[in-house]
Amino acid sequence: MEQVYAESTGPTTINTVNPSNENKKMKESFREKLRCGKSQIGTIITLPCPETAEILSDAGFDFLFIDTEHAPLSIQDVQHILQTVQHKCPCIVRAPLHNEIWIKRILDTGPDGIVVPLVNSAEEAARAVSFCRYPPEGKRSVGIARAHRYGEKFSEYIDSANSAVAVIVQAEHIDAVRNIDSIVTVKGIDGIFIGPYDLSGSMGMTGKVNTPEVREAVRKVHTTCLNAGIPAGIFGIDSDAGARYIGQKYSFIAAGMDILFLGEKAREIIEKLNK
């Protein structure tokens, strides 16, 4: 699924952050691929079930987007999913809101990246980044957890986390569209993920993601990211929606969702057998 869209924007770092990568040949991390302009196709995990994540990582997605914003996943569920699949498939985790406590607890489970929803201004983006980076770059609190191999890799993790964990903020409100020129200048953002659904809601067209107005707002965010050299990502609800973004220089696309795959396939079988 990899396509290279741009030349490298800087030196790549060794990925020591993924706790499952130790003693293995280091693969390029999610963040390194973002920085090199390689496109990645992932999907959204909403079921608190490592087996589902395992099936979807085996299916060939480049990354998994684990969602604690709209799904009943606890921090422990997130950690179990990471323990099961992260060694073979990078995982980024969406926090429920831009909240320091949620962000630090998620980061301590050791994901490859964090997604912060509903970031509508440069100030909010800067605050989100500060929660994700250890001092002096930010104010992430220091604990000992899975991310640090339960203490064994404490120093290695502390030294590498700021440059290895991807920090992605979501542009998914018309205010974020209005403020996108300043949001892209915030230091420490590794990517901007467009949420067409919340965006449509903020424009009074909830769920109508294909209206010209919503498409234009998406285009504005995307173009501004491209011009600023910030990797842009987007959610596509199914393969058709995802396909629309392929070839449009999106760096990461989250296509589909575990529960949708399950329901669609189940209905297809029932329909066929009932005929």
Among 195, 231, 236, 242, binds ligand 3PY (CB under 6 A): 195
Among 196, 231, 242, 256, binds ligand 3PY (CB under 6 A): 196
Q: Which of 10, 9, 12, 23 has the alpha carbon at shortest distance from 156? A: 23
Q: Is 67 in the site for Mg ion (CB under 5 A)?
A: no
User: 124 vs 172, which CB is nearer to ligand 3PY?
Assistant: 172
Among 30, 61, 63, 235, binds ligand 3PY (CB under 6 A): 235
**57 beta partners:** none
In the complex, least distance from residue 61 CB atom to Mg ion, rounded to whole angstroms: 20
DSSP for 56-84? Answer: HHHTT-SEEEEESSSS---HHHHHHHHHH
Q: Are 80 and 105 in contact (CB under 8 A)?
A: no
Distance CA 139, CA 162 (A): 11
* Catalytic (active site) residue 222: no
Distance CA 106, CA 73 (A): 11
**40 beta partners:** 252
Kindly indicate which of the ranges 72-80, 123-131, 194-202, 245-253 contains the residues binding ligand 3PY, using the contact rule CB under 6 A.
194-202
Tokens of 241: 């929606």
Among 19, 90, 138, 195, binds Mg ion (CB under 5 A): 195
Kindly indicate which of the ranges 19-27, 73-81, 148-156, 195-203 contains the residues binding ligand 3PY, using the contact rule CB under 6 A.
195-203
Tokens of 224: 């501004």
Distance CA 20, CA 229 (A): 30
Task: Show the site string, 147-186: x = touches ligand 3PY by CB under 6 A, - = not.
Answer: -------------------------x--------------
Q: Is 32 in the site for Mg ion (CB under 5 A)?
A: no
Task: Show the site string, 142-181: x = touches Mg ion by CB under 5 A, - = not.
Answer: ------------------------------x---------
Where would I find the H helices in 75-121? 75-85, 100-108
Helix (H) or strand (E) holding 235, with range, is strand 232-236
User: 125 vs 145, which CB is nearer to Mg ion?
Assistant: 125
Residues marked as catalytic? 70
